[in-house]
Amino acid sequence: MTEKNSIKRISHTEKRCKSETSYSNLFREASKPILLLNPDGNILYINEATEQLINYRNEELIDNNIFEVSIIHPENHNRIREFFNSLNYGVIGRLPEICRLFTRENNIIRVQILAILLKIENEYRIQVIICKNLNNTAKLEFIEDRNGFKDLSNSLPDIVFEADLNLTLTYLNRCGYKTFNLTPKQLTEGIPIFDFICPEDKEKAILNLSRLLAREKLEPIELTLRKTTGECFYSRVHTRLIFENNLLLGFRGIIYDITKRKLNEELIKKENRRLKRINSFRKEFLDIAAHEFKTPLTSIYGATQILLEYYHSLKLDSSLEVFELLEIIKNGSEKLKDLILNLLDFSKFESGKIDLSKQKINLIEVINNCITDLKYLIYQKDHRIIFPKSDEIIINADYSKMERVFTNLISNSIKYTPSEGEISVAVERFDTYVLVRLKDNGVGLTEDELNNLFKRFNQFNKGMTSISDVAIEGTGLGLYITKKIIERHEGDIWAESEGKNKGTTFFIKLPLIEA
């Protein structure tokens, strides 16, 4: 063989192997010996059971013609060629005669040969199944009492059928005649079972039968079947082989009508698609609305701060109504700003579009800035906040997201702690991480509240606290978003409390930058 021809053959082999990989994976461990041939008789694949039967490896036989290697007895060559040429697509054939095969050691094995013509990636292939002809008693799967079988099957509300190896119907129970609108006389005229399978499912049915012949343990298959009236219905088909005196006769199966179930599934899928579209529209609307509100709100908040600073610079009486009104506008703007930021972050987390701009930041500076920004709330409730001075602690994090975390947590402590309460923040550095403890002496949490603390839309029940000046409000998104941000920074957050009105401690664990 020339080098050019060798390269050409290798290229062809590689291309063919890629197209038949799924087939070999499917039948590698089948209990029955199986060979895959092309229409010329060239061996494309043998499974492990065949290797054990004839003691040849797949690599030794691949690309060789089955009639040119010493496997089939010469006296059987012509008959097997005729048998292969007589195969019709999708129809199982059985060689009537017993065939003789040679093993590597030249031992003769008497076998029965079945074959089916398949299509693998639009190319015809012959699947050969070898049934070893043993003299000992094999498992008998054929029900001998035909009358008893018929009585039993006719009492069932589902279709029972039998078919021969030519895939022609040989038996239907009473439900089968009624469903397919057939008569016993029509059945005796010979009706291929594939006449009842819708075209889009025929390939699936053929592959299922070929695997059944290989004695694989199969799950029931779902097929769309067609009645003689042209009406189609969804079905679930259980099929097994029929044997008599160790010879394969055909198939027996039971067909369940699952049309109602499938239609209900389609309705559920349709409704799910509709709900997904609505949810997508809701998220899109939420994003747009939040962004549109954010800009004018920032202007209102900024203008209010300027007015407050201006009136204070005039050294006017702080009890004037104008100061009270401006404080109301400022506080309301602050709450709306937090609400919009929470909604924007929630939408991003839900859609998986949250981006982090990580950099080296000083965690102590972040916490100090958050406390400063919340001073007006602290003064309003006359709280005492304790945050000892500390050396800088550098972490790799998104600065604005860390501000959101500690603003949410500190403002929660302020909100859920009665007037003249105490809030303390402690930061402790370990070898690989930093731990922040945020403690208050506020309303505290029950065990049930602790378990649901970081779930979205979780809100406390105001009626559960006896402290009258604790205003419980919000969207129930703050702590959910806080946890998501911490997790995106590969950290952890949890809370502890001894019970109602006994305060709460939050723990925030964040990784340090590796040295």
Summarize pLDDT for 179-225 with one digit per residue, the tens: 999 988 888 888 998 999 999 998 888 888 888 887 766 788 999 99
pLDDT value, residue 301: 76
Q: Mean pLDDT throughout 83-112?
A: 80
Tens of pLDDT along 327-350? 788 778 877 877 777 777 777 776
User: Which residue from 85, 3, 100 is spatially nearest to 39, judged by alpha carbons?
Assistant: 85
Query: In one letter, which amino acid is 184?
Result: P
Tens of pLDDT along 406-418? 998 998 899 889 9
Q: Given pLDDT bands bounded at 50, 70 and 90, which one contains residue 470?
A: very low
* Range with top average pLDDT, 120-129, 148-157, 325-334, 358-367: 358-367
pLDDT at 10 over 80: no
In the chain, the percentage of residues whose pLDDT exceeds 70 is 85
For residue 509, give every residue at least 6 positions away whose Cβ sits within 8 Å of its Cβ, in sequence order, or none: 433, 434, 435, 436, 491, 492, 493
Instruction: Report the distance separating Cα 259 and Cα 120, nearest Å.
Output: 30
pLDDT value, residue 342: 73
Q: Given pLDDT bands bounded at 50, 70 and 90, which one contains residue 137?
A: very low
Neighbours of 429 (CB within 10 A): 13
* Range with top average pLDDT, 10-14, 135-139, 200-204: 200-204
Query: In one letter, which amino acid is 145?
Result: D
Instruction: Report the distance separating Cα 5 and Cα 350, nearest Å.
Output: 59
pLDDT value, residue 426: 95
pLDDT value, residue 136: 30
Residue whose structure tokens are 């009624």: 178
Tens of pLDDT along 374-401? 887 888 889 999 999 888 999 999 998 8
Instruction: Report the distance separating Cα 370 and Cα 366, nearest Å.
Output: 6
More confident residue, 360 or 109: 360
Q: Mean pLDDT throughout 53-78?
A: 89
pLDDT value, residue 209: 84
pTM listed for this prediction: 0.45
Cross-strand pairs, 72: 101
Instruction: Report the distance separating Cα 191 and Cα 284, nearest Å.
Output: 57
Q: Where does residue 275 rank: exposed (0-12), middle (13-18), buried (19+ CB within 10 A)?
A: exposed
List the domains of the chain with CATH numbers. Answer: 3-132 (3.30.450.20), 146-257 (3.30.450.20), 270-351 (1.10.287), 355-515 (3.30.565.10)
pLDDT at 480 over 60: yes
Angle at 231 between CA 225 and CA 235, to 5 degrees: 30
pLDDT value, residue 8: 41
